[in-house]
Amino acid sequence: MSAAATPSATTDESKTIDGFHLLLDALKLNDINTIYALPGIPITDLTRMAQAEGIRLIAFRHEQHAGNAAAAAGFLTQKPGVCMTVSAPGFLNGLTALANATTNCFPMILISGSSEREIVDLQQGDYEEMDQLAIAKPLCKAAFRVLHAEDIGVGIARAVRAAVSGRPGGVYLDLPAKLLAQTMEAEAGKRSLIKVVDPAPRQIPAPEAVKRAVELLKSAKKPLILLGKGAAYAQADAEVRALVEKSGIPYLPMSMAKGILPDTHPQCASAARSFVLPEADVVVLVGARLNWLLSHGKGKTWGGASSKTLGGQQFIQIDISPTEADSNVPIAAPLVGDVGSCVSALLAGMGSSWAKPPAEWTSAVADRKDKNLTKMAETLAKDPSPMNFHSALNVIRNKIKERPDAYLVNEGANTLDFARSIVDMYEPRKRLDVGTWGIMGIGMGFAVAAAVTTGKPVIAVEGDSAFGFSGMEVETICRYNLPVCVVVFNNNGVYKGTDKNPAGTDPAPTNFVKGARYEMMMQAFGGVGVLAKTPAELSKALDEAVASGKPTLINAIIDETAGTESGRITSLNPAAAKKK
């Protein structure tokens, strides 16, 4: 039955249901209880109705941050985070987040209103005209459009499955304005909705693949386990811990995998990273890609003679995507399946009398680690004035140690790189950061999502440039009274504050207004703003923020000469920039 065939004027309205409500019912039926949105035509009423229907509606000031919140919620909960935007410009603003979610394998659904199909397709110039489906397609895992009310249930079901099954990612769902106002008979409408059964089915690795992996691991003299954010996402924390502890193999967590096991675990090799990567002979990748963050699995980082040469390691790769293996270097033993199933199968295959790695290897790793940790402790004990990244991050480090349940959101260049190595994490999925793209602008969106989905304290450690990308969302944080403490590492610019323009009076491209009072931005909306010039001031303000749960922004003044251009990835700058 087509919706157009049953205009509400000719039916008893109590027996009809419209597209708005079908959509909300379909989301609720699939346990989606929060929407991150920015209202406007054609979704204003939809956002109101969502609230009326008991869905939590978090309204943002810019769609990118609503989208980032949906993506982070997806990562934290294994349910697709839902973002809703208006047509054309709102949709485009949300698209960066959708693409970033897809790149990072976070499940989210961007639902966008769109203009009249007839007018868009003939390019007759509608209000906010744009062929959104075509634009979204290359940037996400799947893209769908629903034209009839009776297909809304299928549309949501397809979107949910596409977002969370296999390798998770972003899904675009296009809803032309007309659809929302369509009506259909209520009972038929109810029957048209689908509750998705087993949206992310377990994927069990083949027995022969498990056997191959176990044999290879058995032959290793210098094995290493590398945990990526796919392992964090999988919520197979007990299995991963059992693999590490039963095997006795040193492990390295990628930044968002920190805390699956506490960073203080005796087998954690983070402080010996540059030693273990080139030295290891068999590496078990668990939900981690050999992309740029791991130097593509080859070159000097891995002990190769030149930037393109293999280091000689053999790899076991656990990944849910069957096409990930061999994307950079040969994978000797691919294990395709979900982390929980693959790690359980490995554990079973290893049996009960697994020999620990040779002591020569584990003690060499421990020696290197101890040496580096001693050096780090010396650096952290210093108290320079003004503060530098280390002394300020030492305060954050102490706070997370005391409150391991708090979330740490982190972006910037030096602020990111130093925090990753200085701030230990103790619990899984507590660290949210710039991920695979190194994207700036995730800060406030991720912080809102962490607070909304968990109610736990959130500490967002932000470079001053990084903060600027989403800074207006401090109003959102205040409006919903979220327990978020933003710490801006203020060094007067992008990377550093010291650049000079050699050819005029304009500021250099990386300069910001010196001595900016970021804390006043939070005060403007009724939150707490604090200026902190010393570790003691920072520590006091952070204690109060976490204890009170009040929206807080601490403007932490950092030495503008500290840090380096682009942080640890200076070498990725093209040659001309490096000469500076």
Q: Which two tokens stand for residue 429?
A: 């999925």
Distance (Å, whole) CA 81 – CA 104: 14
Interface with ligand ADP includes 229 (CB under 6 A)? yes
**Which one of the spans 281-289, 457-465, 505-513, 570-578 is the region binding ligand ADP (CB under 6 A)?**
281-289
243 lies in the site for ligand ADP, by CB under 6 A: no
Q: Any contact of residue 163 with ligand TPW (CB under 6 A)?
A: no
6 binds, among ligand TPW, ligand ADP, none (CB under 5 to 8 A by kind): none
Q: Which residue is nearest to ligand TPW (CB)?
A: 463
Contacts of residue 176, defined as CB under 8 A and 6 or more positions apart, other chains included, come to 113, 114, 115, 116, 117, 145, 147
436 binds ligand ADP (CB under 6 A): yes
Rounded to whole angstroms, the Cα distance separating 461 from 449 reads 15
Does the protein bind ligand ADP through residue 233 (CB under 6 A)? yes
Q: If binding is defined by CB under 6 A, does position 94 make contact with ligand TPW?
A: no
- Residue of closest CB approach to ligand ADP: 230
Beta-carbon contacts of residue 526 (< 8 Å; ≥ 6 apart):
478, 551
Task: Name the minimum Å distance from CB 483 to ligand TPW.
Answer: 23
Using CA atoms, how far apart are residues 456 and 449, in angstroms rounded to an integer? Answer: 11
Rounded Cα–Cα distance for residues 250 and 117 (Å): 57
Q: Which stretch binds ligand TPW (CB under 6 A): 174-182, 224-232, 489-497, 500-508?
A: 489-497
Q: Does 237 engage in binding with ligand ADP (CB under 6 A)? A: no
Report if residue 158 touches ligand ADP, rule: CB under 6 A: no
Q: Which partner from the list ligand TPW, ligand ADP, none does 494 bind, CB cut-off 5 to 8 Å by kind?
A: ligand TPW
Listed ranges 11-19, 40-48, 75-83, 486-494: which one lies at the site for ligand TPW (CB under 6 A): 486-494
Tokens of 409: 């959101």
Task: Tally the C-alpha atoms within 13 A of residue 422's C-alpha that lie toward its C-beta.
Answer: 27
Query: According to the binding rule CB under 6 A, does residue 104 interact with ligand ADP?
Result: yes
Give yes or no for residue 440 binding ligand TPW (CB under 6 A): yes
Q: Which is nearer to ligand TPW, 250 or 441 (CB)?
A: 441
DSSP 219-245: T-SSEEEEE-HHHHHTT-HHHHHHHHH
Whole-number Å distance between alpha carbons of 310 and 298: 5
Q: Which stretch binds ligand TPW (CB under 6 A): 163-171, 425-433, 477-485, 487-495?
A: 487-495
- Reduced 3-state DSSP string for 197-217: CCCCCCCCCCHHHHHHHHHHH
Q: Scan residues 399-438 and list those touching ligand TPW (CB under 6 A).
A: 412-415, 438
What stretches of 260-313 adopt beta strand conformation (E)? 282-286
Q: Report the chain's C-alpha Rg in angstroms.
A: 25
Residue 323's CB is within 10 A of a number of other CB atoms, namely 9
319 binds ligand ADP (CB under 6 A): yes
Confirm if 573 and 507 have CB atoms less than 8 A apart. Answer: no
Q: Which of helix, strand or coil describes residue 433?
A: strand
Give the residue, chosen from 257, 392, 494, 546, that forms a contact with ligand ADP under the rule CB under 6 A.
257
Q: By the criterion CB under 6 A, which residues form the site for ligand TPW?
A: 412-415, 438-441, 463-466, 489, 491, 494-495, 563, 567
Q: By the criterion CB under 6 A, which residues form the site for ligand ADP?
A: 104-105, 167-168, 228-230, 233-234, 254, 256-257, 287-289, 291, 293, 319-321, 324, 338-339, 436
